[in-house]
Amino acid sequence: MAAALAAQALAKRYGRVQALQGVDLEVGEGELVGLLGPNGAGKSTLVKIACGLVRPTSGKAWVSGARAGSSTARASMGYLAELFRFPGWMSADELLQLHQRLAGSRGGKEERTRLLELVALADARDRRVEGMSKGMQQRLGIAQALVGSPKILLLDEPTSALDPVGRRTVRELLEELQSRGVSVLLNSHLLSEVELVCDRVVILLGGKVVEEGTTRELAHPRGVEIETDQGVQVFPGAKRDDTPRLVAEQVAAGREVYGVRVLSSTLEEVYLEAVQGETS
Amino acid sequence: MITIIRYAIGEAVRRKVFLVVIVLTAIFLGLEALANHYIFNDLNNIGVPEDVHVDTRTFAATFVIGMSMFATLFLGIVLAVFLTLGAVSGDAERGLLQPLVVRPIGRRRMLFARFLAAAGVCSVYVFVVYIVSVVITGTEGDWWPQDIVTPGLLLAGAVVVMTALSLLGSVFLGATANGIAIFMLFIAGLVAGLLGSIAHALGSHTISHWANVAAYALPFEALYQDALKQIAAGTTGFTSFLLRLGPFGGAYNSGWSVRLWAAGYLVVVGILAMTAFARRDL
């Protein structure tokens, strides 16, 4: 079965700037992949190539088995751009209706209602876009991307304008989509969000993939922390397998053990290590 | 495609420029009605020497309609340019285009639909304003062109050509740069046309030649001249000569060669715009 999104040796050059340098990437069916990297790493370019907005200099990309940018590929995906704007004079319902027509969706009013409820905009159905907050527009953007029940969703910074409640709504939405088998490529700077919802993480730096794997695979062991009646003790070199031995030693030494924690690096630490402090 | 046409028309009529053009049109038509009223009221008082055979009514009516055609063309082009100057680069910069382009409709069809919408709105506008101004002059001056419809269609065609050029420009240039470029082309075309009229009257072949080249390079000007010529088609003798001397009757490009050229030009501009848009990174 074809991957929801596959990129092979993808390269893109904008004049003198090499935005992508031979990126290989795969997003499986129903997989939620987080795309991380500093500004200028090539994340948006990668997403835009997948959408057919940008033509690669070399390499190939496929969406649901069809060449990226082809009509078939575009029909099977939903996209929310990082910088987007909808016509201010349109209501939320009219906007979704427009995208239903363009996507060839036959979901009708039922689909629009469901999508607006999904992004907590049911009450704003008839409200014009110009009267919405940025967060509401971003949630409407996600609803727009979901029109026509796409097989894969490409989201470029979908939570950048959202407050914590809005972020949680989106996170729950992503989890629900995942349970329905929808694949998602999530381009985000919010590491905590990515860590919470993504199956796998890809870190880009200077147009190349520098790290790739599940958050567990990427995390490095950082020791074991044991809380005893004499305080918290950290064993920096220790691994998970060392835990029973360390606890036994503490007990043998007459200490009372209250808690044990295997320490591993957070996604933030993995990310910072991968990008070596680069910000743009 | 119909969805995009409806969307583009919906957006066009909601833009402030549309309201501005409507207000300006109302003012223009009001002033034109006033001017026609006074011109034809005072026409009887004009003393023309007996040995000068000028049909003053025909001269005045043709001149006034020619002038109103220029104003109509200008307003039509303002509308066309402002509706299309940011259709690609401008909308892409603002993030309006990307959500639409990623849908399966395809870029070529999308651009063609936007062209149809803008050209439709502008050509209907130009044709209606032209007909109203002819009716004003006809009612006040009791003078009607031999062919009322054709000049209006030619004028609408001129605006359609500028709409296509503006869309082509929008693929390469940002909204402001494109707007400036298109208005400069418009002015260049008009100046070339005016110089051509003078050159024809003076018998300067070099200027005439280059004015012709300019009219074909920017066929909106050739279509405008064709329209002017259709208005003055019934004039003869010294009246016709006088009209040819002025800026609103001195047309030297007309006929099916101009119209077919403009149609071919439109197709080439359309193909160029669609090809460039299909290849552009957004």
* A102 interfaces chain B, CB cutoff of 8 Å: yes
Using only C-alpha atoms, chain A has a radius of gyration, in whole angstroms, of 22
* DSSP character at residue A91: B
Phi, psi of B248 (to 5 degrees): -110, 25
Long-range contacts of A22-26 (CB under 8 A, 24+ apart): A22/A59, A22/A208, A23/A59, A23/A204, A23/A207, A23/A208, A23/A209, A24/A209, A25/A202, A25/A209
> How many other CB atoms are found less than 10 A from the CB of residue A218?
21
pLDDT at A111: 94
Residue B252: DSSP 8-state: -
Per-residue pLDDT for B249 more than 70? no
A264 — phi, psi (to 5°)?
-140, 160
Q: Which residue has the higher pLDDT, B124 or B106?
A: B124
CA B22 to each of CA A4, A152, B70: distance values in angstroms, whole numbers, following the listed order: 50, 45, 17
Residue-level pLDDT at A189 = 83
Contacts with A72 from chain B: Cβ below 8 Å: 104
Instruction: State mean pLDDT over A153-173.
Output: 85
B282 and A54 in contact by Cβ < 8 A? yes
Question: 3-class secondary structure for B143-188?
Answer: CCCCCCHHHHHHHHHHHHHHHHHHHHHHHHCCHHHHHHHHHHHHHH
Q: Which residues of A touch B95 (CB under 8 A)?
A: 81, 83-85
* Contact yes or no for B10 and A89 at CB 8 A: yes
How many Cα atoms are found within 13 Å in the side-chain-facing hemisphere of B245? 7
Whether A57 has a pLDDT exceeding 60, the answer reads yes
Residue A1 clears pLDDT 70, i.e. is over it: no
Q: Work out the burial of residue B22: count CB atoms within 10 Å of its CB; fewer than 13 is exposed, 13-18 middle, 19 or more buried.
A: middle
A41, A46, A49, A54: CA torsion to nearest 10: -10
pLDDT at B127 over 70: yes
pLDDT band at B80 (very low <50, low <70, confident <90, very high): very high
pLDDT of residue A168: 85
What is the number of other CB atoms lying within 10 angstroms of the CB of residue A3? Answer: 18
Each residue of A178-197: pLDDT tens digit?
A: 888 899 999 988 888 888 88
Per-residue confidence (pLDDT) for residue A215, from 0 to 100: 81
Contacts of A46 in chain B (CB under 8 A): none
Q: Given this model, what pLDDT does residue A279 score?
A: 60
Which of A55, A87, A99 is opposite residue B103, by nearest beta carbon?
A99
pLDDT value at position B250? 61
Given a cut of 90, is residue A274 above it in pLDDT? Answer: no
Average pLDDT rounded to a whole number, residues B73-102: 91
With 60 as the cut, is the pLDDT of residue A280 above it? Answer: no
Q: What's residue B45's pLDDT?
A: 77
User: Per-residue pLDDT averaged across A214-236, rounded?
Assistant: 87
Residue of A96 and B11 predicted with greater confidence: A96
In whole angstroms, give the CA distance from residue B127 to residue B122: 8
Q: Are A271 and A36 in contact (CB under 8 A)?
A: yes
- The per-residue pLDDT for B42 is 86
Sequence letter at residue A110: E
The answer to whether A14 faces chain B, any CB pair under 8 Å, is: yes
How much is the pLDDT for A277?
61
Residue of B93, B94, B98 to mutate when probing chain A, most A C-beta within 10 A:
B98
pLDDT bracket for residue A266 (50, 70, 90) = confident
> Could you say which DSSP state residue A85 is in?
-
Which of A101, A140, A160, A187 should we substitute to test contact with B (largest number of B Cβ atoms within 10 Å)? A101
Least Cα separation, residue B20 to chain A (angstroms):
18
What is the average pLDDT value for chain B, to the nearest integer?
88
pLDDT at residue B41, rounded to an integer: 86
Place of tokens 């007996």: B50
Among residues of chain B, what percentage have pLDDT more than 90? 49
Answer yes or no: is pLDDT of B2 > 60: yes
**Contact yes or no for A23/A42 (Cβ under 8 A):** yes
Top-confidence residue, B152 or A159: B152
Per the CB < 8 Å rule, is A85 touching B281? no
In which band, very low, low, confident or very high, does the pLDDT at B247 lie, cut at 50, 70 and 90?
Answer: low
Q: Which residue has the higher pLDDT, A163 or B98?
A: B98
**At B259, phi and psi to the nearest 5?**
-65, -40
pLDDT at A222: 82
For residue B248, the model assigns a pLDDT of: 66
Calpha distance A186→A43 (Å, rounded):
10
| Mean local confidence (pLDDT), B22-42 | 91
Categorize the per-residue pLDDT at A216 as very low, low, confident or very high, splitting at 50, 70 and 90.
Answer: confident
Decide if B117 contacts B109 (C-beta within 8 A). Answer: no
- pLDDT score recorded for residue B63: 87
- Range of weakest confidence among A133-142, A214-223, A226-235, B94-103: A214-223
The set of residues, in sequence order, having a beta carbon less than 8 Å from that of A186 and lying 6+ positions away, is A32, A33, A34, A35, A155, A158, A174, A193, A194, A197, A198
Q: What is the distance between the alpha carbons of residues A212 and A203, in angstroms, rounded to a whole number?
A: 6
Can you tell me the distance from the alpha carbon of B59 to that of B249, in angstroms, rounded to the nearest whole number? 10
- Evaluate whether A3 touches A29 at the Cβ level (below 8 Å): yes
pLDDT for res B236: 73
Task: For residue A70, give both structure tokens.
Answer: 């082809």
The mean pLDDT value for A234-251 works out to: 89
> What pTM was computed for the model?
0.83
| Predicted pLDDT at A50 | 93
Q: Which residues lie across from A27 on neighbouring strands?
A: A5
Mean pLDDT score of chain A? 89
